[in-house]
A and B are shown apart, each in its own frame.
Chain A
Amino acid sequence: MALESGLRDRLEGGLGAPICLTWELTYGCNLACAHCLSSSGRRDPRELTTSEARALIDEIAAMRVFYINIGGGEPMIRGDFFELVEYAIERRIGVKFSTNGTRLDARAAERLAALDYLDVQISLDGADEATNDRLRGPGSYAAARRAMENLATAGFGPFKVSVVVTRDNVGQLDAFAELAQGYGAELRLTRLRPSGRGADVWETLHPTREQSRELYRWLCEHPGTLTGDSFFHLSALGDPLEGLNLCGAGRVVCLVDPVGDVYACPFVIHERFRAGNVREGGLARAWRESPVFTDLRGAGSAGACVSCGSYDACRGGCLAAKFFTGLELDDPDPECVHGAGEVALALPRRRVRPTSEVDHSRRLPAVGR
């Protein structure tokens, strides 16, 4: 999403509807990535039915949400995946969806290639098999590359190669860019967050401060790299990165999970940020009236960051990153480029790292199933 400057101030107060809404279709997944944001694995028997899902698309269209990000779990394991994607596009909602690629065979690629206003993001977290499969499980690299081949062969056009930047793969950014370019694809980099199972690996896998500086420089040298506005905490290093440069939770984005619960953003599946359920009261009411979202739209307190000259650039960073590392919401981002987050994390106060009750992890990984 490209964006003109000067918009941020208008957005902090919230909008009549989200600009983009993430909708996780299922908690079921045939992979078991170590850093899964939504702790996916098993399907939930309460997941929205096809007719409920279609009704939600109708409501999203009525709210004039411009586009939705479909994710999961692995969305393509739902039998009604294509039906729902096609229905959303018919209703003039742009669709982006994220997939691990395991179900994206030649036939699926052709069906996707026939649709307008559809973006496909294939997840890949290592430029080589060893790096990727360490995080995403054996066989996942080969499956993702096969999906990319299939899209390219079907003439899909510029799909996206979507990478979560970690301590292990931050040195491979050029290799990722080359890999994407080889398919005529775009590179999308996003931030590793301590959400879901990501909480278990965040400590050891989030980029070091020096790596974050490298990443910032790389992003500045490669304008047009898609980031989903992930790295705005790095804007404190100098010129602002492309994008909104603000926390969009409950302001410009929200999440609908597979059972219809509405959360402030895709990275905060936790009771504290739950605004309602699409089955009870609907999405529009949750967006417009929930106290959770209204609070997030307040001016917000700069807290410990108030005297920092960079606050205007980073706005204190990512809500989810703070919350799931046990920081207060007005604390600095745990990955603050000035090191204030590390200081806050080390403070000898009682810090509870909240865990989500929503966990669909399978007990054993089931790669390739």
Chain B
Amino acid sequence: MPSTIDRRAAWRLSPEVSLRDEPFGALAYHHGTRRLVVVKSAALARLLERLGEYPSMEEALAEVPEAARERVVRALEDLAESGIVSGT
């Protein structure tokens, strides 16, 4: 299946999203769609917060340990699907 994430583009946490740390990672709430999503690790939550600082998704992913990268990409695809992250 083709990825919904264009790795050459810049991405960010949607400005309509609130992120709150929880013991299992974080919860993300989209104020526009009223959708609540689980962020499954604290590391992913930190990446989401800083996502907008990277010129491209590729560069953001370069900071993720290689062993975890595919898992993170899949999570980001889900988050893009629900509008939690969006291309800029």
Q: Which residues of A contact B (CB under 8 A)?
A: 1-4, 6-7, 10, 13, 15-17, 19, 64, 66-67, 92, 94, 117, 119
Contacts and interface: CB of A to CB of B under 8 A. Distances in A.
Given A19-B27, A66-B29, A2 B35 contact: yes
B70 interface: no
5 contacts: A10-B22, A10-B24, A64-B18, A67-B31, A92-B31
Contacts, number: 49
Contacts of A3: 35-36
Contacts of A19: 27, 29, 36
B24 A117 contact: no
A13 B78 CA distance: 25
B34 A64 contact: no
B20 interface: yes
B47 interface: no
B34 A13 contact: no
Interface string B19-61: 0111110010101111111100000000000000000000000
Given A66-B29, A67-B29, A94-B31, A15 B22 contact: yes
Contacts of B29: 19, 66-67, 94
Nearest to B34: A1
B23 to A, nearest CB: 7
A13 B38 CA distance: 15
Contact of B34 (A4, A6, A94): A94
Contact of B36 (A2, A6, A117): A2
A15 B33 contact: no
Contact of B38 (A7, A16, A92): A7
Interface in B1-27: 18, 20-24, 27
A92 B20 CA distance: 13
A351 to B, nearest CB: 38
B36 A15 contact: no
Contact of A66 (B18, B23, B33, B78): B18
A92 B17 CA distance: 10
Contacts of A4: 36-38, 78, 82
Nearest to A92: B18
B20 A17 contact: yes
A117 B17 CA distance: 12
A134 to B, nearest CB: 33
A10 B36 contact: no
Given A16-B20, A17-B20, A1 B31 contact: no
Interface string B53-84: 00000000000000000000000001000100
A2 B27 contact: no
A64 B21 CA distance: 9
